[in-house]
Amino acid sequence: MPTIVVDVMPKAELLDPQGKAVTGSLSRLGHGAFQNVRIGKRIELTVDGDVTDAVLAEARTIADEILSNGVIEDVVSIEVVE
């Protein structure tokens, strides 16, 4: 069944405390190559049937209004995976 993948990340201008904690841990553990870590969500929506333009538009609406909080998060991508 086709799956729509929605990626949501904290807005670039906001502090991401979870990511900051991981950045600190990586550095302490000797993985200094990674300067910054940000952690967001990957949401997989399984579609019953074909992914029509209408379904994709509905997914976009859901992503903006239900799956993400527009005040602190950005929907960075919406893509269809078979």
Residue 44 binding a second copy, by CB under 8 A: yes
Q: How far is CA 68 from CA 24, 33, 76, in A?
A: 26, 30, 10
Per rule CB under 8 A, count of chain residues that contact a second copy? 34
Would you give the binding string for a second copy spanning residues 6-25, x where CB under 8 A is met? -xxx---------x--x--x
- 2's CB contacts (< 8 A; 6+ apart) are 46, 47, 50, 51, 80, 81, 82
Q: Does 75 bind a second copy (CB under 8 A)?
A: no
CB of 44 to a second copy, least distance (A): 5
